[in-house]
Each structure stands twice: as structure tokens, then as C-alpha cells.
């Protein structure tokens, strides 16, 4: 059988890197996509050194043409296309009274529009190849319950959850499933920056923001990127073939639905 191909955006570090590594272990050839060429190359090189097959691609997911180009490159260079993980995202703290047009545009351009472009590019590739596929979007527990200090980020993730449901209905006739994963507090550079912003705004030392959010975690520990990657592994694999339109919480028990 031909090796299946997965493309992961924002895969140069953090959760995206862990997802790329996990899908490689699952047998996928992976396209590591990031706006940072250096981190993309390093992540792909690590996968290759571990015995996997990977390529590094550069794309700003807020630019539709760049996302389409990345998917086409993955298809051409890796010999197929089966799964896209729209993982790239940003999460600046946005106290209500400080929100301006610039931060709304930046967050939605990346978190929401980037997901739309990824869905569209994947559908185009699946159609050209004559088969269905899997679309997996990065949501968040903040896409189920509004998070303090993260109004714009939470709003963008609620939007991704709604988009996931609608796309699942629209694309099912094409044999395409659309699901999302919803992490909580994950030990990544993005979270540490959120902690810094929240802690400084409260006049507290680093770690204050993390401690406040962590009080809500039933399992009593922060998430490792590999915890999230395991959820995505399920969504990318055959075990989830009869699932679509779902946004799975993988947050240690912060939100119960």
C-alpha cells in the first residue's frame, strides 16, 4: 500500500511538532509546515533521523495562496494527500477593554481564516486524487467555555468549532470527515507566553497565570504535547472513521460535556 500523507501546520514547535512526530510513528509521511523555516527544517530533520519520512514547508496560514501551495507541494513531493491538521494558532491575552481591531484581525486571520484555507486546500486535493480524507482542526477547551483574559482567542476557537460542525455536514458526501481536538493547558512556548502576560498583568511572578488556570484541571497536571498528539493520532487513524463534526476535549478534565 502507498504510504499515507499528513500535513500539519504550525508544526515547527509545541503541539504541532508533537503531532508530526506521532503521525510519523503511526506510519504517515508528514509535511511539516510552519511560518518559521528554521524550526520547520529542524522538526522535519528530527523525524527523518528517527526513521520517518518528512519534508519541511514554509507557509503563513493567514495567506490563502500559501496554504494551497503547501498542500500542493506535499501532494507532489510525498506522493499523495490524506490528512490535514490545521494546527497553527496564536493566543495573545486580550482583556476586554484593551481589544482593538488589529488584535482581532491578527487572531482571526490565523486561527479562523487559516483553518478555512486549510479545509479548502485539502478538499481540492482530495477531489483531484479521487478519494475522501480527514480534516482535523485545532480547537481548544477555550472553544467550549470562554476563558478569562483570552476573549479574542476564545471567540476564534468557538468559531473553529462551529466551522468544524458545518464543514462536517457539507463534506460528508465527499467521504471527508472533519473533526477537532481541544487541548487545555499544554507545556508549550505559546502557553508560557500566555502565563507571562497574565502574571505580569496581575502584578504577580511568572507561573501565577498557570497556577490559576491549573486549579481547574481534574487530573491535577498540565498537559504534555504528546497527550494532545495521541488524540490527533486517533482522529487521523481508521478508528475514527465513523466520527465527524466532533470537537474532542483533551484537557485533563477542565471542561465536561
- pLDDT category at 1 given cuts 50, 70, 90 is low
171 against 215, higher pLDDT:
171
Question: Distance (Å, rounded) from C-alpha 176 to C-alpha 29?
Answer: 19
CA torsion 194-198-203-207 (nearest 10°) is -50
**SS3 for 102-160, per residue?**
HHHHHHHHHHHHHHHHHHHHHHHHHHHHCCCEEEEEECCHHHCCCCCCEHHHHHHHHHH
Tell me the domains of the chain and their CATH numbers. Answer: 5-184+224-250 (3.40.50.720)
What value does the mean pLDDT take over residues 72-87?
98
Element (H, E) at 8: strand 5-9
pLDDT tens figures, 121-147: 999 999 999 999 999 999 999 999 999
Work out whether strand 247-250 and strand 176-183 pair parallel, antiparallel, or are unpaired: parallel
Q: Strand pairing partners for 84?
A: 7, 135
**Angle, to 10 degrees, between the axis of helix 225-236 and the axis of helix 14-25?**
50
pLDDT of residue 21 exceeding 90, the answer is yes
Cell triple for 126: 482530495
In tens, the pLDDT along 183-204 reads 999 998 888 888 898 899 889 9
As a whole number of Å, the end-to-end CA separation of the chain is 39
Kindly report, residue by residue over 41-72, the tens digit of the pLDDT: 999 999 999 999 999 999 999 999 999 999 99
Helix (H) or strand (E) holding 194: helix 189-201
Given a cut of 70, whether residue 110 has pLDDT beyond it is yes
Strands of the sheet with 54-58, listed across from one edge? 54-58, 29-34, 5-9, 83-86, 133-138, 176-183, 247-250
Q: How many CB atoms lie within 10 A of CB 179?
A: 25
Neighbours of 198 (CB within 10 A): 21
Catalytic residues: 153
Dihedral sign from CA coordinates of 233, 166, 108, 74: positive
Contact 55, 126 (CB under 8 A): no
Other CB atoms within 10 A of residue 27 CB: 13
Amino acid at each position: 500500500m502507498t504510504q499515507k500523507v499528513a500535513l500539519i501546520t504550525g508544526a515547527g514547535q509545541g503541539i504541532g511538532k508533537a503531532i508530526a512526530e506521532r503521525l510519523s510513528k503511526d506510519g504517515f509521511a508528514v509535511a511539516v509546515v510552519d511560518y518559521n523555516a528554521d524550526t520547520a527544517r529542524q522538526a522535519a530533520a528530527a523525524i527523518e533521523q528517527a526513521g520517518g519520512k518528512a519534508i519541511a514547508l514554509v507557509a503563513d496560514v493567514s495567506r490563502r495562496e500559501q496554504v494551497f501551495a503547501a498542500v500542493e507541494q506535499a501532494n507532489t513531493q510525498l506522493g499523495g494527500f490524506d490528512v490535514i491538521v490545521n494546527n497553527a494558532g496564536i493566543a495573545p491575552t486580550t482583556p476586554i477593554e484593551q481589544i482593538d481591531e488589529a488584535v482581532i484581525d491578527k487572531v482571526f486571520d490565523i486561527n479562523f481564516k487559516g483553518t478555512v484555507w486549510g479545509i479548502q486546500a485539502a478538499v481540492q486535493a482530495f477531489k483531484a486524487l479521487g478519494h475522501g480524507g480527514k480534516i482535523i482542526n485545532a480547537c481548544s477547551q477555550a472553544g467550549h467555555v470562554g476563558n478569562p483574559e483570552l476573549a479574542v482567542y476564545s471567540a476564534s476557537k468557538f468559531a473553529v468549532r462551529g466551522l468544524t460542525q458545518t464543514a462536517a455536514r457539507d463534506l460528508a458526501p465527499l467521504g471527508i470527515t472533519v473533526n477537532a481536538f481541544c487541548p487545555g493547558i499544554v507545556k508549550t512556548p505559546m502557553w508560557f507566553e500566555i502565563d507571562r502576560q497574565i502574571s505580569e498583568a496581575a502584578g504577580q511572578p511568572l507561573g501565577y497565570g498557570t497556577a490559576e488556570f491549573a486549579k481547574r484541571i481534574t487530573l491535577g497536571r498540565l498537559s504534555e504535547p504528546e497527550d494532545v498528539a495521541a488524540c490527533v493520532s486517533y482522529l487521523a487513524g481508521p478508528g475514527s472513521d465513523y466520527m465527524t463534526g466532533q470537537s474532542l476535549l483533551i484537557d485533563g478534565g477542565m471542561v465536561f460535556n
